[in-house]
Structure 1
Amino acid sequence: MIFIDNEGVTDPKLNLALEEYALRNFSNNSDYLLFYINEPSIIIGRNQNTLEEINQEYIEANNIHVVRRISGGGAVYHDFGNLNFSFMTDYEFNKLNNFKQFTAPIVKILNDMGIPAEMKGRNDIVANDKKISGNAQFSSVKRMFSHGTLLFDSDLSEVTKALNVKMSKIQSKGHKSARSRVANISEFLKEPMSTTEFRQKILDGLFEEKTDFETYKLSDDEWKAVHELKKEKYDNWDWNYGKSPKFDIQRTKRFKGGEIDLRIKVRKGGQIENLKIYGDFFGKEPVEKIEDALENVRYEKSDITEVINQFDLYEYFGEIDKEEFINLIYGPDEL
């Protein structure tokens, strides 16, 4: 097995780009292992509706990254107390959805450390029935990876806040994450250790399992290609948000000028397909002007704000705060 040295990178977009680049470009017939630790971030599954998974207001206020990965599964929270691993191998049918095969060495090492870890359900490692690791897979024609998280000393309160959805009444064809009882691996240790020490323990255990273990350092040209992939894909709003499946939103709020009821259809690709405004408000101008102006606009707060700023909302709804109206379209429920 070949260990890929990510040189201490903690940018989740760069680490996911590195993982995809290695899968698609490193030689076949070889097994690779990648370890990385990310800055606070939410990593979205390939088939999920990003907005349905995250507390957008909270992640913006706390500078938390939001990145979509190429594998399926649910949304997960990463921070400096969370260790991520990725096993890359040639594709074989019997490996697909066989998470136990990939995680068995990790479980053994955890057991050797005195942690009551076991594989349970489809893709989780648990300790005393509390989830300490979630896993996902991706396969191309010839290659595949199985990757997962190891919650070592993560801020579990942040998990709840960052993944606590604030958008109301979203109806989506995306795959909603199932929330599980979670725990940190550090809770089960008899002697405390740092995340870095834990990472080394896991690596040492894997080295013992594979006598032909070697370390690979990327060349400057390879790092350049990884950065290009990050720029073209993982830095891109269209990938992280716009790839969400088509979804509908219904939101209602009473303003001084009356109640406004919004029905919003967002197409796959992240643009507003259709927006209808209902309510008992009084206005001089027809709301169809606002509806038409928002058609085909990205469902992103900055884009929506740019459109709404063109209108004198008093002419359409009576007494209403512009920021509150924008938040009704895209924002937190508690306005």
Structure 2
Amino acid sequence: MPKSNTSEKGYFFIISALLIWSSQGIVVRASKMPVASLMFYSLVVSLVIQSFIFLRAPIRKGLPSARGFFSIFVLSVLSLINTLAYFYAFSYTSISNAVFTHYIAPIVVMLMAPIFLKEKITMTAVLSVSVASLGLWIIMRDVSVLDVAARIFSTGAGSTGQRFKPDTIGIICGLISGVAYGAIIIVLKIISDNNNKYLVVFFQNLFVVMLLMPFAGQTPATAQSLWIVVAIGALYSTVATYLYYSGIAHVGANKAAILGYIEPIGAIVFGALILSEMPDALSVLGGVLIIAAGYIVIKKG
């Protein structure tokens, strides 16, 4: 398959995964379950589904090496940190603060890719990150970088308790999730060429389940929460993850990170369709800029 067609296929897979993930905030909120419990039981569901793929003979014969298992374990820890921190950011601070801080990930990737992946920092990547960041800032315009920094580092009256109020904790969680998300992209890019994506997803989820087991809590108590757990396990932890891992094998780390800005656009669309939260004119402008950044990546990539 020609390289350009392969890249286009990779872009399609990544964008599809991001659009699926963009709806998870609505689903998570509807579950009314503790974050750790929701993650644990949904991943158990995904493991049951993925085991049918894992048990296929051609897949079993391609088990990762010891180094591959270690890389997948590192990926699992980063995934756990990313998801927990992101969900807790939503719990402690505004959605604007959580999303704004989480999407420092492309900056993290841009700084790490030359070191770990030998990817050059191109003008296209710089331009795309700048345009997408401006678009996100317009959408989340009630918070600024200076505001975030002030809330984290402000000493107030000098009291540690005043310094780390719930809002500040949420902002710190958002930053942690953004750094973890950026690191996930780097690790995925490193291991994608030498490991079967189905095995990577299976063992990643298995490791996360093992890490979360002490904090699982009670099983879903209502039919609604049970169906949500099944939906998250099947759609977000299986289908979307497979799509993303398939796509990143054909797309550079910087490009994959920049395309991540599509996720908040999807969240706005789902909010408008499901919650009737219609975006204003400035939010639409911000969304157009983010889409333009994605177009630059795909067209110039």
TM-score with structure 2 setting the length: 0.28
Structure possessing the higher relative contact order (Cα contacts under 8 Å, 6 or more residues apart):
2
Question: 1 or 2, which has the higher strand percentage?
Answer: 1
